[in-house]
Amino acid sequence: MLSRVAERIYWQARYLERAENTARLLNVFSTLLLDLPPGTKLGWHSLVEITGTDQIFDAKYKQASERNVMRFLLCDNPGGSLLDMLANTRENARTTREIMPLEAFEQINDLYHFAKGNLKSGVDRGSRHQLLEEIISKCQEISGLMAGSMSRGEAYSFVRIGRSLERADMATRVVDVGSGNLLPDLSLGSVPPESYEPYENTLWMNILHSLTAYQMYRQNVKHRVNGEDVVTFLLQDEDFPRAATHALTTISHVLKKLPNDTKVAKQVNRALRFVQNGDIKKLLRSGLLEHLDSLQVEIANIHQSVADTWFLPNK
Amino acid sequence: MRANWKTYNPGHFFDEIISSPGYARKPARRLASYLRSLTHEDLQQKKLAAELAIKTMGISFTVYSDAGNIDREWPFDIIPRIIAEKEWDHTSLGLQQRLQALNCFINDVYNDQKIFKDKLIPKELVLDSANFRKQCMGINPRYGVWAHVCGTDLIKGGDGQFYVLEDNLRVPSGVSYMLENRRVTKRVFPELFENHAIRPITEYPAQLFDTLAAISPRQSDYPKVVVLTPGIFNSAYFEHSFLAQRMGAEVVEGGDLVVEKDKVYMRTIDGLSQVDVIYRRIDDMFLDPSVFNKESVLGVSGLFNAWKKGNVGLANAPGAGVADDKIIYTYVPQMIKYYLGEEPILPNVPSYLCVDKVQRQHVLENLDKLVVKPANESGGYGMLIGPQASKRELAEFKRRIKADPRNYMAQPLISLSTVPILGDRVVEPRHVDLRPFVLQADKSYVTAGGLTRVAMVKGSYIVNSSQGGGSKDTWIVGDN
């Protein structure tokens, strides 16, 4: 398989997964913010922080209002908006048409045109939910189609690596938001301390929702929703597909299908050990943010070693 | 919408289906009476079926100037064009003869230059051509063949004869549309295929693969053949990907290839893998920045030398375009006699060379009756159609011809033949040309028919898809 084709198929899968995750994130946060009391610091700006685009946003907009944030994340951030993620999915798919199922390209093409015509309407709260639900379900349709019709050879291995890396990345970002930035701010707000609890619950429940993890969490973790269990579940669960540990384990299995995988496998195992060895209870008291930062670096290093090993060298 | 052949009126043009009002030519009789039997609703429904098939099959082409939505669906007319088998067999021989002579000429230009010594063609005329590559001097590719794939443009004049309009020897495109047109027609008119003996065309990709495999330097059963594309933004990308898929070859871009020790490799996830033959769909000048255009990012550094040393096959060979210059075109009938000792089977369109003083005078005096073409443009760009031009355009061309006579030739405006298309309300005549594809390596091959291009606008002669032309399926049909 050509290195260039491997690279494009990998990015196609990453962008598709990223688009789905972003759509879900926006959807969940739109509902979550309605539940939180005024005075909490968790606000629309948190959304641009999660997606790591706060600097670009701040340079562009004076105010982190709901409309501004939504416009920015949906369609007004070149290269980083939901629309551009779908455009990138399509561009990468267009150049790998020969090896993907024909219908997959057609659906990706449709999805892009649908998003192009409709994403702006998501700036309004009234139509946002339905729009994002539709994007999510179309993304899942495409992933399902590829899962159902592509042989488990080299091409599909790159799809899975791209998708899993994106999932691991998203899990760490979401945990980052839930644990680090926002809870202390809750206590600094105008809310009296004894009333934290319901909001803390709401927050963690929504964090789970943003990774479609709520039901699986309830079935597997029998306690009530609490920070420590949620963080443990999202980082260390071996069976939930969007948990960091599961995603990284998937990559290490997939690698066996590919030639010259030693270097990449080493890096994946490093990241895996790192995430599994974290003592969440202790980290929650102090050091979780630094831990998550290091985990992000480990994940970025996996991408780097994949690129070094299989993709075209940079010119 | 009904196919009423009595009111169908091609005027004074030669129509390929109808000989006089209400009467179809013999090979087209079945088709004409079948079309007449269809109701307005039938035809409407078939037209929609074709549009849908084209959309779902993803047949598209790209227009450079259309920023934004670059992929357009392929414009297609459902009524097939009919050519009699006998006529085609004769034409096909003429096409093979022509390509053989052209390849002899190219090989001669880059080696012995006998044709100059024998004073058949002025040397300067060839060496001044923008497509002459001095780097190719002394190279002798296998079988003496430089142009392995040729798209020859044919037109039918008022006498119903095929004439050669031009030879495309660089990177001719359109063959994928020829194949897709047939697939669409099969979906739309399956019933017609039962009653006609229509020559199949599907073998083209296999024939192309054999031609390419024949020039592989490593003789093996499975030479590694790749299609080199400038990339997704090229107007013919659909075709590059299509042909690669049908041949079981990889589509590669310049960045996928690397030359080491004069051998060409592609970068795969399993390391470097040697390439035997490159079907290149990028221009000479962009092939190798170390030899041609230094700015090129599309090509591969070192590729030219690898080819020169015989370590990789290149189709078409660099420099082959020297024979597809429109000035050189006028000499092809003489070349056929000179190299093959045969009479040309297919005639050229009569032409005037502006570089010749007497002929130039004739051109300048009759500009409003002639078609003027620059030597090296393709796709219908930079042309003047005298009878349809404004005074300003005529004056502008006069100036250009005087300034650079070597770059221009002129031909009388041939009354292109017509075929029926399905208009919005009625069946109407439109002008067409034909591009068959000719292959040559150890043996020759000609497609059964080719790509028929139609000027969809009433009265227009412009058939190029980039300028509003459409296309049709082309049937080579037996007598019974």
Please compute the mean of the pLDDT values over residues A205-220 and round it to a whole number: 86
Q: In this predicted structure, what is the pLDDT of residue B67?
A: 46
pLDDT at A192 over 80: no
Instruction: Assess whether the previous peptide bond of B407 is cis (omega < 30° from 0).
Output: no
Residue B266 touches chain A, beta carbons under 8 Å = yes
Question: What is the value of ipTM here, to two decimals?
Answer: 0.78
Give the residue from B315, B423, B453 showing the smallest Cα distance to B2: B423
Q: In this predicted structure, what is the pLDDT of residue B345?
A: 98
Task: Tell me the pLDDT of chain B (480 aa) as tens digits.
Answer: 678 898 999 988 999 999 988 899 999 999 999 999 999 889 989 999 898 888 766 666 655 444 444 566 678 999 999 999 999 999 999 999 999 999 999 999 999 999 999 999 999 989 988 899 999 999 999 999 999 999 999 999 989 999 999 999 999 999 999 999 999 999 899 988 887 889 999 999 999 999 999 999 987 778 999 999 998 878 788 899 889 988 989 999 999 999 999 999 999 999 999 999 999 999 999 999 999 988 888 899 999 999 999 999 999 999 999 998 888 999 999 999 999 999 999 999 999 999 889 999 999 999 999 999 887 766 567 888 888 889 999 999 999 999 988 889 999 988 899 999 998 788 999 999 999 999 999 999 999 999 999 998 888 888 877 677 889 999 999 875
Q: In this predicted structure, what is the pLDDT of residue A193?
A: 53
Interchain proximity A2–B252, CB inside 8 Å? yes
Contacts with B136 (C-beta within 8 Å, 6 or more apart), sequence order: B110, B317, B318, B319
Q: In this predicted structure, what is the pLDDT of residue A196?
A: 62
Position of tokens 């690279």? A7
Least confident piece of the model among A98-107, A293-302, A303-312, B285-294: A98-107
Stated pTM of the model: 0.83
CA–CA dist B368, A270 (Å, integer) = 78
Position of tokens 């994340």? A73
The sheet carrying B257-260 orders its strands as B257-260, B263-268, B271-274
Which comes out higher in pLDDT, residue A312 or B376? A312
Burial class (CB in 10 A: 0-12, 13-18, 19+), A141: middle
Residue B258 touches chain A, beta carbons under 8 Å = no
CA–CA dist A158, A155 (Å, integer) = 5
For residue A43, give both structure tokens. Answer: 């606000």
Interchain proximity B245–A98, CB inside 8 Å? yes
> Residue A255: which pLDDT band, with cuts at 50, 70 and 90?
very high
- CA of A107: which chain B residue's CA is closest? B56
- Whether the CB-CB separation of A3 and B267 falls below 8 Å is answered with yes
A contact test, residue of B227, B234, B269 with most A CBs within 10 A: B269
Residue A300 touches chain B, beta carbons under 8 Å = no
CA–CA dist B175, B172 (Å, integer) = 8
Residue B268 touches chain A, beta carbons under 8 Å = yes
Q: In this predicted structure, what is the pLDDT of residue B62?
A: 57
For B438, phi and psi rounded to 5 degrees? -120, 135
Which residues 248-267 on chain A approach chain B with CB closer than 8 angstroms?
258-260
Residue A95 touches chain B, beta carbons under 8 Å = yes
Residue A113 touches chain B, beta carbons under 8 Å = no
CA–CA dist B77, B185 (Å, integer) = 9
Domains parsed from chain B with CATH numbers: 352-412 (3.30.1490.270)
Cα B170 to its chain centre, rounded Å, is 10
- CA of A92: which chain B residue's CA is closest? B232
Q: Where are the alpha helices (DSSP H) in B369-439?
A: 391-403
Give the residue from B148, B141, B146, B144 showing the smallest Cα distance to B312: B141
Which residues 58-97 on chain B approach chain A with CB closer than 8 angstroms?
58
DSSP structure class, residue B163: E
CA–CA dist A172, A181 (Å, integer) = 13
- CA of B265: which chain A residue's CA is closest? A2
DSSP A158-204: HHHHHHHHHHHHHHHHHHHIIIIISHHHHHHSSS-GGGHHHHHHHHH
Interchain proximity A2–B250, CB inside 8 Å? yes
Size of interface A-B (CB pairs under 8 A): 48
Give the residue from B304, B246, B309, B263 showing the smallest Cα distance to B280: B304
Give the residue from A225, A252, A250, A247 showing the smallest Cα distance to A235: A247
Residue B35 touches chain A, beta carbons under 8 Å = no
pLDDT at A311 over 60: yes
CA angle at A105 for the pair A104 and A111, rounded to the nearest 5°: 90
Residue B250 touches chain A, beta carbons under 8 Å = yes
Q: In this predicted structure, what is the pLDDT of residue B1?
A: 64
Q: In this predicted structure, what is the pLDDT of residue B66?
A: 42
Interchain proximity A1–B256, CB inside 8 Å? no
Q: In this predicted structure, what is the pLDDT of residue B378?
A: 62
Q: How far is A90 from chain B (nearest CA, A)?
A: 12
Residue in A98, A260, A309 nearest the CB of B251 = A98
CA–CA dist B378, A81 (Å, integer) = 41
Q: B323-340 burial, b for 16+ CB within 10 Å, e for fewer?
A: bbbbbbbbbbbebbebbe
pLDDT at A71 over 50: yes
pLDDT at A183 over 60: no
Q: In this predicted structure, what is the pLDDT of residue B69?
A: 47
Q: Where are the alpha helices (DSSP H) in A211-243?
A: 214-220, 227-236
pLDDT digits (tens, 9 = 90+) for A271-290: 999 999 999 989 888 888 89
Interchain proximity A102–B253, CB inside 8 Å? no
Q: In this predicted structure, what is the pLDDT of residue A197?
A: 64
pLDDT at A186 over 50: no
Q: How many residues does chain B have?
A: 480
